[in-house]
Structure 1
Amino acid sequence: MIESKLCERWSPEQIVGPELKGKLSFKTIYNWLYKNFFDVSRKGKTAKTKETRGKFNIGKSISERPEEVKKKEVFEHWELDSVVSSRGEEQSLFCNICG
């Protein structure tokens, strides 16, 4: 009876229930399970799926900028930087017009 209920994925608490209360403890069933008295496979946790979304297109590095932009000699060069929190709750955009 106990092994058939375990195969149906009943918990030891459900198996003991009101019928066997006082005659058998659910802790005893857990001890039997840990000692492999029953031929029942453990369910276990499911594996988390890996991230399948694409990665950010980072673009060019700051070191690859032209010299006139690095020296900030030419007007109308925009510098943008964005910051997104790791939890995705907050976002910020910084803009600087050099010249």
Structure 2
Amino acid sequence: MGTFTLSRFQRGALAQLVSEGHHTYQDMADALGVAKSTISYELDRVKPYDPELAQQDADHKRRACGRHSILTPSLTILITNHLRLTWSPEAIATAFNLSTASIYNWLKLGWLPFNLADLPNRNVRQRRANEHRGTFTSGTSIEQRPKSVNQRLAFGHWEVDTVLSSRGQSRACLVTFVERKTRLL
């Protein structure tokens, strides 16, 4: 059917239909282009139905919905004081049963009066190590090899490749060598 929320205009039209008194919920829903359950919910919102009070209630509920931060003024002071005592966000999170990610997010958003660069670990957590396994600095790229190598006419042309293990399991890798003509592995 239609939408599940009513506009201010639709609430006024619904009030008119209610005042006429001889319409079913389905008739009113069809007239406004919404679901019958929307009409039922809307009429239960305020009794007797007043479109202005219903709009105020809907606006209040809209502002109150969504996720809310647990950061209170007292928690802000607590976290800031411990950061100034050179505690790391990880240590604070562990000590006070908070999320480390939340503390970093509050720092990035500026909700905590502490500079992210002043952290005792110099923000090591935010740096990511680059992956260097499996990169070769010598040899010729596949795109640059001669056409005679692609034709597989002569023995002695080798392809080298690496197979990396899953990052969390091991830092090892497997190197494969394949000869182009004989396909010796």
- TM-score, length basis structure 1: 0.45
- TM-score, length basis structure 2: 0.28
Q: Say which structure is richer in helix.
A: 2
